[in-house]
Structure 1
Amino acid sequence: MPTSVDIAHLPGEGGPIAAVRNTLGWMTHGIDHLLAQHRRFGPVYRSVFAGYQVVCVADPDLVLSIAREDETWSTSLAWLTFFQGIDAKINAAKMDSPLFLDFKPHRDARKVFQPAFGHSATASYFDAATPIFEQAIERWMARGHVSFKDEIRSLMMKVSTRIFLGVDDEAAAFEKALIDYWEGPLSLTRSKLLSPSWRRSIRGHAVLCEMLRSRISARRASGGDDLFSRLCAKTQEPETLVDDDGLVRLMIGIKSAAFATTSSGLTSMAYLLATHPEWQERMRAEAIALSKGRINYEQSNQLEVTSRVWKEAMRLYPIAPYTARRALHDTQLGQWRIPAGTFVMGMISAVLRDSNLWSNPDRFDPDRFTPERAEDKRHKAAFLPFGIGGHTCTGMHLANAEVKAFWHALLTRCRFTLERDYKARHTYMPAGIVSGDVKLRIERL
């Protein structure tokens, strides 16, 4: 499978200057940068990101076309592009983690860990997360302020360390290793000599591997209800396709997703609620009407206003910019020929602002998700914040549950405003998030 292909016939740009400009554009101006490229070059165009030439697809019909599991597109080879070199054991000949599998092997691997994200498991994670949220909120109220972006990231790391690993005292170590690891795919060069971020990424990954691998035997014997214990037990079953190395890679992927994505979305949501207090009050009224005390997972499904605001936050400030694929053979995207081996990004973030699908797409309007309006149902690719196809995020329901648990705990206790009003922009660092620290003043109810 070629990794360097000729796509010069496509509109767009290439070369080292474009690589730097585009990568920095993603990081500092997020969706605005992507929409500007879409307007300039059209629905299918070539670009350079993090040192790789890519084809970006911003048309919803074409985004759907690359998501079909028809053996034209590989998800595993796309992700391999980013992570090969960080983990020396990841290569095209040995893909055993679900992230690096396609088609039936991928579906079979998902069956191994899907029960760990099922209804009963998610309910137990919800119950474990709630008291951690409550303790943090009490500290914020006592201080009267919080630098939300930094503290919610650490808080979500503490939550994920508890519900995923069953430990409470190593969140800081996991957080540092994950931050180092996440910087790697954005490096402009994959040279350990020239790139400090690439060196830190390799080192961070090694630390994560050791921290997880050293716990496998104990977790298999524990019979615990945390995610890692469940997966350690599951991967001992005869039909499993995941060995211990694959299990470690799977857990790193899950930890990374839970750490960077949910905390980023909560930060963007906090900014929107601080700048649209009428929606904060609507969410608060709904939360208090449900219960002023602690709720469970079943009850959280009644928080419909919270769900709509969460969806609108992910639409305006998308967490994931694209769904990644590689062409397994020569194919067509619209009028354009796509050679085998081409790295293609389905720009799900651009579709989230498509004026053909969304009314006043730049406006904050959570009611667009009501059953009466249902703008997210106008097209199958209209709203894909957790990806699309067989590789849709397995932790989607857990993320939604954590968001509801957090906001119910906070809004039934306090209200908040920005310490300093400012107009935020969208950034990718590397997950999509509002700019600024989102420093909040907290007032106890």
Structure 2
Amino acid sequence: MAAEGTPDSRRKDSAELRFGRAPGALPLLGHAVELLRRPLAFMESLTAHGDLVEIRLGPRPAFVLAHPDLAHRVLTDFRTFDRTGAVYDRSRAALGSGLATSTYEDHRRQRLIMQPAFRHEHLRGYVEVMRQEIAEAMTRWRDAGQVDLVEEVFTLTNAVSLKALFSSSVGARDAEELREAFDLFLRGIYARAALPLVGRIPSPANRRYARALSRWRSIVARLIEGYRHDVGGRDDLMAKLVAARDDEQQAMSDEELSDQVAVLLLAGGETTSASVLWTLHLLANHPGVLAALRAETGAVLGGEVAGWEHLRRLDLTARAVREAMRLYPPAWILPRTCVREVVLAGHTLPAGSMVVFSPYVLHRRADLYPEPHTFDPDRWLPAEDGGAPHRASYLPFGAGATKCVGEDFGTAEAALIVATIVEFWDLSALAGTPVSPAARAVLVPRSLPVRLTPRR
């Protein structure tokens, strides 16, 4: 596939890509009901109508990017497609203006400050934090029997994120309150995006949402204040961020630090747990792949908790995680706003139009991924010519300047957790408990109840 910005890429956009409209919009509501009731099936159906597909969010149009050429153009042209509009206004009201929600004007400075904390030379130290928390979880699970892996894995990845961020500064009670606040946010923000009136109703759910976010801000502000007064020789992420400076030698304010904490906990806790959960679910339903992966973990780990020295040798594990993120990308839907008039797929979008990027849609195109609904980690084996297959159409972390800064952190953590769980446990799904996606801000299983049987 041609790179973004080449003449061939522009020719495809202007001459070959198709514009279409989704049928079935209701008066006043548009496709909002479909997006709330069956969002994944609805989104996947859009490729039948074109490469750029107009849907309706209430009375307003939105344009879904159903082709990777269009997705790359939108994600890499921040000056034309910005993170503005009502959806991001509501996200910033809850999470602040961190890397995941900031506009073009703020993003470049934040990225320059944040990037050094995620350089590869720091990954080994973060992996040691992961290993310690994974080991504690394996011990805690020893007598668990029947558990919901959604709760257990989110607790684990959230603990890793908090420990990497704050070392030993966060107590158990604060950690639990932060986890609960984030869970409420993630449950609420998708509904507020699809149907804005939901957030204006004075309901008990909305009051709980407001209280949780208030408590969240209070705890994080107290933690940041502690670092301002005494870093104490700590070498965690927060210490690096407090010490970081932009190209004008300016540090981040307390408000900016709080916003980045929200982003890092969202990415490190919820999105990583989603990757782990979908990988385990898919492995449980593909016993041949599970047997091969178990042979790999037996040879590499030999009964140990996975750590830095094992990471490079967990090849099938990494491919299984990658394939799970193709089928179930955690950040499955993201909007942008056209800040000036633009032509996509031969159709003129006026300034102010919303465009919607969905890796879930792109990753399930049969012309890009043969047998797209099949879980096949071998599709990620190196191509014969040495190239990376599907590189341009695989976008679970986004692309361009806003590509996830913690990609290496998240993929390493997911691989370590999956490998260790497979090595230590047999997971038996409970009869009569189908696993279905909960399409909220992050795509996770609603629940994943299993019986744990120790293997070692």
- TM-score scaled to structure 1, two decimals? 0.86
String of CA shifts for 1:203-253, please: whole Å, max 9, x gaps: 322222211111223224223122122212225996236321111111111
For 1:277 and 1:30, the matched residues in 2 are separated by: 29
What does 1:391-410 align with in structure 2 at a 5 Å threshold? 391-410=402-421
Unmatched tracts of structure 2, length 5 or more: 1-18
- Determine if the alignment matches structure 1 residue 36 to structure 2 residue 40: no
Q: 1:260 aligns with which of 247, 270, 293?
A: 270
Question: Does the Cα contact within 8 Å between 2:52 and 2:63 map onto a contact in 1?
Answer: yes
For 2:255 and 2:267, the matched residues in 1 are separated by: 19
- How far off is 1:195 after superposition? 4.7
- How far off is 1:294 after superposition? 4.2
Q: 1:61 aligns with which of 57, 69, 88?
A: 69
Question: Does the Cα contact within 8 Å between 1:312 and 1:366 map onto a contact in 2?
Answer: yes
- Determine if the alignment matches structure 1 residue 415 to structure 2 residue 426: yes
What does 1:160-175 align with in structure 2 at a 5 Å threshold? 160-166=161-167, 167-169=170-172, 170-175=174-179
Aligned to 2:242: 232
Alpha carbon RMSD of aligned pairs, Å? 2.9
Q: Give, as a single letter, the amino acid of the residue that structure 2 aligns with 1:270.
A: L
String of CA shifts for 1:333-373, please: whole Å, max 9, x gaps: 11211110111112221110111111111111110000037
What does 1:8-407 align with in structure 2 at a 5 Å threshold? 11-12=21-22, 13=25, 15-25=27-37, 29-39=38-48, 41-48=49-56, 53-69=61-77, 71-75=79-83, 80-86=88-94, 97-103=98-104, 106-166=107-167, 167-169=170-172, 170-185=174-189, 186-187=191-192, 188=195, 189=197, 191-220=199-228, 221-222=230-231, 223-234=233-244, 239-240=249-250, 242-292=252-302, 293-372=304-383, 377=388, 379-407=390-418
Question: Does the Cα contact within 8 Å between 1:45 and 1:56 map onto a contact in 2?
Answer: yes
- How far off is 1:408 after superposition? 2.9
String of CA shifts for 1:286-326, please: whole Å, max 9, x gaps: 12222323443253022110011001111112212234321
SS at the partner of 1:18?
Answer: coil
For 1:370 and 1:403, the matched residues in 2 are separated by: 19
- How far off is 1:420 after superposition? 2.4
For 1:381 and 1:77, the matched residues in 2 are separated by: 27
For 1:250 and 1:265, the matched residues in 2 are separated by: 21
Question: Does the Cα contact within 8 Å between 2:338 and 2:350 map onto a contact in 1?
Answer: yes
SS at the partner of 1:200?
Answer: helix
For 1:361 and 1:422, the matched residues in 2 are separated by: 25
For 1:306 and 1:353, the matched residues in 2 are separated by: 21
For these two proteins, the number of residue pairs brought into alignment is 426
- TM-score scaled to structure 2, two decimals? 0.84
Identity, % of aligned pairs? 23
For 1:419 and 1:101, the matched residues in 2 are separated by: 42
Question: Does the Cα contact within 8 Å between 2:177 and 2:216 map onto a contact in 1?
Answer: no
Structure 2 CA distance for partners of 1:260 and 1:244, relative to 1, 3 Å: same
Structure 2 CA distance for partners of 1:422 and 1:361, relative to 1, 3 Å: farther
Aligned to 1:4: none
Structure 2 CA distance for partners of 1:83 and 1:423, relative to 1, 3 Å: closer
SS at the partner of 1:302?
Answer: coil
SS at the partner of 2:29?
Answer: helix
